[in-house]
Amino acid sequence: MTRADRVLAEPGSPPPALPGRAGRSPARRPARGRVSLLRRAAPPVLVVLLLLAAWQWAVTALAVRPQVLPSPLRVVEQGWAFRDVLWANTLPTLQVTAVGFAVSLAVGWALAVVVDFSPWLRRALVPLLVASQTLPIIAIAPLMIIWFGFGLLPKVLVIALVTFFPIAVGLIEGFSRADPEASNLLRSMGGGRWAEFRYVRLPGALPSFFTALRIAITYAVTGAIFAEYVGARAGLGIYMAQQKNSFRTDLVLAAVGVTALVSVALFGLTYLVERVVAPWIRGARR
């Protein structure tokens, strides 16, 4: 309960520092970044805490059996008690996600570049890309196990299939968003199609690439879980499946919580990568 108290205390503390007009005075400026972060973090934290409190109350008041719906406190408690097993299953999931996402990035970039250079291939491939997204993963994933076994490959394929599309589309659109006048400028300088790509289209596509990356990365972890759920030796997905079968709903939900944390962390990581690879984007978006 102490942790919840501490977290609950936070949303209460900012108001004194909040008034925007006071923050505008030069003396207070250094505190501003922290204030705005708290200000942004407070609403979602508050909402989550309210929902958890309501859940806790409902489970206790209605005396729901934990096999059906455990209380959030029980989920945290049991998750902590089984932290070793959870961690041991998180690692393989992270590994699969990383490999799958790397494959997806490579495929997405290759397709987008090829399509950017060849109008013919654009016409040929783009409909296929779209069609690939209509494949019902829920039916394909078990088949992958039949075809490729319980190893890394079927999972990597599922992740790549789910995530390469936003990356490829984000890049293709990013490339073609280049200002035609910038292309003219490059040509007047004596540059060919490659120079145009290198100096204009490629850097110009980075903002939409990073947007696509954020969408794709959130699919990646879910894709990994799904692939594992169908069949794996270890991983959060298969762990959830096993715990469900032994009616440990609390541990299923604890694994769900870990999945969410991992996804959010990877999502945050994309901003870090963006900051390193293309620091100018932040300034340009403002």
Partner 1 sequence: MKITPLKITVEGLELAFGDLPVLDGVSFDVAPGEFVSILGPSGCGKSTLFGVLAGLVEPDRGRVLVDGAPAGRETFGYMPQKDLLFPWRTVLDNTTLGLEVAGMRRREARDRARDLFGPFGLAGFERSRPAELSGGMRQRAALLRTVVQDREVLLLDEPFGALDSLTRTAMQEWLEEVRGRFGWTVLLITHDIREAVFLSDRVLVLSPRPAHVAREVRIDLPRPREVGVLTDPAFAAAEAELLDTLRGGTRL
- Residue 217 sits at the vertex; the CA angle it makes with 211 and 218, to the nearest 5 degrees, is 100
Between 136 and 192, name the residue whose CB sits nearer to partner 1.
192
- Could you say whether residue 123 binds partner 1 (CB under 8 A)? no
Q: Is-contact 82 240, C-beta < 8 A? A: no
- Name the H helices within the chain: 2-12, 20-23, 32-62, 72-81, 83-117, 119-132, 137-148, 152-176, 180-188, 193-196, 202-230, 236-245, 249-277, 280-285
- Could you say whether residue 280 binds partner 1 (CB under 8 A)? yes
Interface residue with partner 1, options 126, 182, 215, 234 (CB under 8 A): 182
- Could you say whether residue 189 binds partner 1 (CB under 8 A)? yes
- Could you say whether residue 205 binds partner 1 (CB under 8 A)? no
- Could you say whether residue 60 binds partner 1 (CB under 8 A)? no
- Which value, in Å, is the radius of gyration of the alpha carbons in the chain? 24
**Residues near 52 by beta carbon (within 8 Å), at least 6 away in sequence:** 72
- Could you say whether residue 283 binds partner 1 (CB under 8 A)? yes
- Give the total of residues touching partner 1 (CB under 8 A): 21
Nearest-angstrom CA–CA distance, 237 and 137: 15
Site string for partner 1, 152-181 (x = CB under 8 A): ---------------------------x-x
Interface residue with partner 1, options 14, 23, 66, 191 (CB under 8 A): 191
The least distance separating partner 1 from the CB of residue 274, rounded to whole angstroms, comes to 12
Interface with partner 1 by CB under 8 A: which residues? 179, 181-182, 184-191, 195, 199-200, 203-204, 206, 278, 280, 283-284
